[in-house]
Amino acid sequence: MDNDGRHETRGTHGPPPFDTSGRPPSVPPPTKPSSQAVPPLPPVPPPPRHGGASAGAGQPGIPPRPLTVPEALPPRPAGAPPGAVPPDGASFVAWLRTERPPASPGIWRYGHTPRPEKEPEPVPGRQLITGALIAFLVGWLVWSLLWNGYFGRWWRLPLELVTPDSWRTDPGYHTLIVEYAYYGLVIVGILAFVARLGRWSEVWHRYGLPAWRRAVPAASAVPPSAEEDPAQWPQLRAGGAPEAAERLAAETGAGVMRDVDHARITRAWQAVRAGRRSREEFTRAVLADGAGACPHPSGARDLPGRAAEHDLVTAQVRVGEVGDTPRNPYAFRGAGLALGPDLLGTSLLAVGPVGAGKSVRLVRPVVENLCLLALAGRAAVVVVSAAGSPGAGSAEQYDVVVRPGQPDSVYDLDLYGGASDPDEAAAILAEALVGDLADPHTGGDTRRSTTVLAQLIGPYAAVHGRFPSVPELRELLDGAPAALTALRKDLEDLGDTTMLRELDARARQSGSPHDPGPALADRIALLDRPAFSSFFDTSGRTRPFSLRAVDHPVRVRIDLPERGHADASRILARLVLAQFTESVAAREDPSLFACLVLDDATGAVTPQTVRSLQRLRSANAGAVLTLRTLEEVPRTLRGPLLGAVGCRVALCGLTPWDGQDFAEVWGKEWTEARDVTDRQIVADEPLTKAAHFVRRAITGKAPTAQSVTVRQVERERWSASELAHAVPPGHAVLSLTNVRGEYAPPLLVDLRK
């Protein structure tokens, strides 16, 4: 957002402008020629300039926009939590001022109250109240005995040592004041002793403090000072933009500002502090547009509807609540569980059967949060899912929607990922076509396939100035004599001896036992179907979308045609994943978080995928992958895949075989084991024998004594059997790691709260 948010998003927007919701118009792809990259969205016109001084703004030439009432908030989806409604008006100011203390990875920081690391010794409530009352009565009895002289006068000795004898023979008011002050000190000492003995502090924190907080209204709290109040934009005042701070503070108090506006303008100010834009340009934009300054290229300031609770100050989305169970560490129990770019930057893998809640309770909140961050200029998101998947949300919340195989799709998909180098294009395409056939240790098949594709793509591009389309590439891979002869003749006419050598090398390798050409031809034939006849075009007749656009805050959704073209969908999923990992490494602005969400990564996990996931963290990017079972991943890749991602989620309904893989990666921990042994008491005394006889006659059990043995043992954090049978419906066990290396152990989380 270097230029007021009015830059053009490269390769994401077609000629028809977006409406205010960010959705492209639903028209068929045009037939007229266009460039390889998608034409950009027309830039937002600059604010009007006037020659006179502004009224009350203190900035000449730019009149401030009058405060306006914000448009109606979008409706909340059915079943969404109460916090899914974005804050506005007075609730926005309260939301902005709410404390967000530092916390462990995954804890929902909004309004969080930290807990101690270790659980205090649990005391039953009845025992706690009884002990406190008895301690009070003991203190009262001690004071009564002292006051009535049952313990003599020794307790008055300190008073008599520090006061003159004349005070006792001729007492006055000063004598009474000193004596009663001394009595008060004695009472305070007795109360301190009995309070500690009766655990009065624990009674207060368990019963008194919650009742006090409910009784005292929140309005009685002190308002923060202007230097500390986030609603007054102190960071702008301290950074030399007081006029902009005044304008934003006025709109915040008037109820015009929203959470997306706050996050977007904060991001723009960060660009000023980083030197990527000028302070004067930022101030002019804020004075002209107020809360609408530095807009997203789509012009949208919110999503059509929210299904989860978001906190854009911390960039978190709440996905559940950590269970209050001994299986979870005490500091996490009862806290909200949240995900954000700091965790997704290490990538996330969720495994669970159909109906476990992967899409609705995990993927959809994450996608929604990333779309909001994209509107704030802080993220770029690409969502790949089956057409109609609930995890992707509605099409209205995206800037670009690509539907391969659907004639009404506005956008096409660039088969070569916007690459201009034939070798780079061949590597991307080889991973998509035969990446799942590569050897996990050497990756030999992919390298040979890359060489074969480069030997054909390079000569074709040298002759035609573009890469071959799907039918043309299939024809070359099949070794059609007419196509190869024509290509050779064109190269000879150009005198390109280098590309002729490439074509000759391909001719020599063709037909050998280890030639990957036939496998490539079979795979590319899956895309050379009538349903895809108008897609993957390279001649300029369509609007191809390239993943090079993740250099900008773009929201992209790609619908895969899984119903009739399951194998082609897997190829497209690998294609998008390969293009994404290549594109994020070559971005111009690495401060923008980029995330790929692959809702069903069946067939997309390859040896190259595992290696690429480990490199995303350094590029400020991440991936979210979901699987129905780890059986969909080759056995040799399951361990490396779980080791490559920092966030692992095992949902309810997991099989014991999948649970075993999670149990191995989560490892073991030292825990305290208590062994209780009952032994029968043998009495020798006649009276004791009689008492034992009566007890056995009444209870039917022999008198026993318990012996407790405590020892440290090493056990699995979660065993395969527990993951398969002890995770309740709607729950999941997950471990989290953020980009700084901080780690949260496996937690049992209720995804329904």
Element (H, E) at 707: strand 704-716
Residue 222's pLDDT is: 58
Per cent of the chain over pLDDT 90 is 60
Q: Which residues are within 8 A (CB) of 157 and not within 5 positions of it... i.e. 6 or more apart?
A: none
* Model confidence pLDDT, tens digit, residues 519-560: 999 999 999 999 999 899 998 888 899 999 999 999 999 999
On the CB side of 377, CA atoms within 13 Å amount to 27
The gap from C-alpha 210 to its chain's centroid, in whole angstroms, comes to 31
What phi, psi does 555 have (nearest 5°)? Answer: -115, 115
Query: Final residue of a domain: which of 524, 551, 567?
Result: 524
Within a domain: 143: yes
Q: Which of 477, 497, 524 is the last residue of a domain?
A: 524
Domain extent for 455: 437-524
What's the confidence (pLDDT) of residue 40?
39
Q: Kindly state whether residue 158 falls inside one of the protein's structural domains.
A: yes
d(CA 361, CA 350): 11
Please say which residue of 524, 555, 580 terminates a domain.
524
The predicted pLDDT at position 79 comes to 60
Does residue 189 lie in a domain region?
yes
Question: Count of CB atoms within 10 A of residue 571's CB?
Answer: 23
Residue-wise pLDDT for 289-337, tens only, equals: 999 999 999 999 999 989 999 999 999 999 999 999 989 999 999 999 9
Query: Would you say residue 517 lies in a domain?
Result: yes
**Does residue 441 form part of some domain?**
yes
Q: How many domains does the chain have?
A: 3
Q: Residue 177 has what pLDDT?
A: 84
Q: Which residues pair with 670 in a beta bridge?
A: 714
Write down the pLDDT at residue 206. 83
Q: Give the pLDDT confidence of 189-208 residue by residue, as tens digits.
A: 999 999 998 888 888 888 88
Number of Cβ within 10 Å of residue 35's Cβ equals 10
Torsion of CA 721, 723, 725, 730, to 10 degrees: 180
| Contacts of 706 by beta carbon, 8 Å cutoff, 6+ apart | 676, 677, 678
In a domain, 499, yes or no: yes
Contact 37, 538 (CB under 8 A): no
For 472-475, the CB contacts below 8 A with 24+ separation are 473/524, 474/521, 474/524, 474/525, 474/528
Type of residue found at 37: A
Low-confidence ranges of the chain (pLDDT < 50): 1-72, 218-220
User: Tokens 């391969």 identify what position?
Assistant: 404
369 lies in some domain: no
Amino acid at 99: E
In-domain check, residue 319: no
Query: What pLDDT score does 76 carry?
Result: 58
Reported as a single tens digit per residue, the pLDDT across 676-701 is 888 888 888 888 888 888 777 777 77
